[in-house]
Each structure stands twice: as C-alpha cells, then as structure tokens.
Amino acid sequence: MRASETAVFDMMEVRGASRRKRPKRSALRHRIEFIAFRIAVGILKLLPEGGAAAAGRALARSFFRLAQSRQRILLKNLRDSFPEKPAGEIASIARGCVETFGATFMDFLEASDLSREEFCRRAPVTGVEHLEAARARGRGVFLLSAHFGSWEIGAMAVGLLGEAIASVVRPLDNPLLEAELARRRTRFGNRLIAKKEAAREILRAMRRNETVAILVDQNVLEREAVFVPFFGQLAATTPALALFQLKTGAAVLPVFTWPIGSGRYETRFEAPLWPEEFELPGVDRVERVRRATARYVEVTEAAIREKPTAWLWMHNRWRTRPRDR
C-alpha cells in the first residue's frame, strides 16, 4: 500500500473513533439496561407465533409518537424524496416504516435463537449464482447493503452459504448489550470488524479472499464525505467502499433482505459491480471514487424505491450539506 493510501485509511479510522466519543456511562446503568433487555426477551418468548413482531410494531408506534424530532425527520425525508406522492400516501409509508422497524428487530431476536434448519426456512436466499461469480474472482468480495428490511437476518443467512462473512459494525455503548448482540450476530460463524479498526482488517480479509459486508447508506461528516445523488438530493456518503474496491480489485455485490411476511425474509443477491466499470481512461482516482460511490448509492436507491417502507427513513440522511449549498 502506498503511504498516501495508508494515511487516508488511518484518517478514516481516527475520525470514526473520535466521532463516537460520548460521556462516560456507569456500570450500574449498563447492568440495569442489560437486565431489562433479558426480561423483555423472556417475555417475548412466551408470546404466540407472530406475537413478538406485533409487540415490536406497537412499541415502535408508541416510541415515535413521543420522539417528535425523529418523526419530523421521517416525514421530511419522505416528502423530499417522493414529492409526487400525496400526503396520505406519505403518511402510509411513514407508518409502515415505523412498524417495519419494530417488527424486524423482534424478528431478529427470535430468529437468532432458532436452529440452523428453522432459520434457513425463515430466511431463504436467492441469486446465489451472483455470489459464486464474485467469489470466483479470487480477490475477496464486498457485500453492499443498507439498513433495509432485516439486514441482521440477511447477514446471518449469507454466512450459512458455505463461507462465513465479516460485517463492519459500530459497537454499542453498553458493553453487556454489545456482547449479547455480538453473540447473536456470530452464532452461525460470522465475525465482526469494529469500525475503529476496520481498514487494515478489511484489507487482510481481501487478501484471504474473504467476504466483508459494508453498509454505506448513512450520513457522514463533510470532511469524510463524497456527495452523490440520492433521491434527488446530494447525500454525504463514505468513500470507504470505493477506495477499498479500487485498491483490492474485489467485486462489490449488492444484497438486500426483503420482508416477505410472517417473520420471513428473503435475502436477494444482485449482479456484481466490477472495479473495471470505474477504471475509465482519462479519469483520475478522485473521479473514479466518486463514480463508484454514486453507483453504489444508485443501486441502494433502486431497492428502496421497490419497497420504501423497508428502509430506515427516520435516519437524518441529508443532515450534512455541501459547503456551496
């Protein structure tokens, strides 16, 4: 790796770590939160089939009635992204988004306790030939996904296809809850890469021809961002995936996990994006990174347009604006 590229990746790690600094939380608070979580999980197990998801939908509706700031973000994002839709349809999508958020969390808690056989029944996978083609390249595979449907169930489902995957994640502030979440995420063999130490670990994984999942659909700070179109607005997007793809020559494979009802989710692979698509003559590296990032976001937007209630619209995706806007 050239010294300049090492500096870019190091800077990404340091900035990510510094942005996550928060006031110190007490061990007592961590313990209380963990006990409350375990009690809630125990109660959910007593509910009949479908009861946990229904409870999740009800809790999410109650939370968003109280969380006025998130409710405003949710509605503004939808109005700005779908200006052609009437107010009634926007309100319907917003309700569906909130309910999907609650249900998918409960479905993940339930699914992560299932046997392999039952989990596979609940989480079918299609388009596996695209994954095989990407892996055949021999340079590792990047899975491009988003906070869409149950991305947690999708990661577990992909990890059962003959080779475990690594997911880049931001650890929770509560170490007890983080350990519980990590246990569920890695139950079928997957492993986790913490964002603050991601760059070097990702490059090592690519050299070993492994598969790494990265979500690129959330807002980032201006100094870290590439601004690319997303639902008709420029969105501050991390260039990390593009930098990694152009550095390693790995395929980027879009994959999204769609809710299909009754606590079931279909994980669908799409055609790989090859680095050669962005290696155009006369185009410098900065422009190649921008074009690659724009393509990733374009693919993500297409999936969201197909089922808008499945994406996390309450995230302030367009918070960071370009200086000249």
Sign of CA dihedral 219, 88, 97, 264: negative
Cα–Cα dist 223/236, whole Å: 10
**pLDDT value at residue 231:** 98
> pLDDT digit of tens for each residue in the chain (325 aa)?
444 444 344 434 434 434 445 567 789 999 999 999 999 889 888 888 788 899 999 999 999 999 999 999 999 999 999 999 999 999 999 999 999 999 999 999 999 999 999 999 999 999 999 999 999 999 999 999 999 999 999 999 999 998 899 999 988 899 999 999 999 999 999 999 998 878 999 999 999 999 999 999 999 999 999 999 999 999 999 999 999 999 999 999 999 999 999 899 999 999 999 999 998 888 899 999 999 999 999 999 999 999 999 999 999 999 999 987 5
Cα–Cα dist 245/143, whole Å: 11
Cα-based distances in Å from 73 to 18, 35, 80, 86 = 25, 31, 10, 18
**pLDDT value at residue 49:** 79
| pTM attached to this predicted model | 0.89
Q: CATH number for 25-310: choose from 3.90.550, 3.40.1130, 3.30.1490, 1.10.1740.
A: 3.40.1130
**pLDDT value at residue 180:** 94
Cα–Cα dist 225/290, whole Å: 10
**pLDDT value at residue 177:** 94
Exposed e or buried b for every residue in 170-198, given b needs 16+ CB within 10 A?
ebeebebbbebbbeebbbbebbebebbeb
Closest CA to 206 of 302, 145, 141: 141
**pLDDT value at residue 10:** 43
Report the length, in residues, of the chain.
325
Q: Can you give the residue ranges of every domain in the chain?
A: 25-310
Q: What share of the chain is helix, strand, coil (3-state, %, to 5)?
A: 55, 15, 30
Q: Which tokens in the block code for residue 228?
A: 């690319």
- Cβ atoms of residues 237 and 211 within 8 Å: no
**pLDDT value at residue 309:** 98
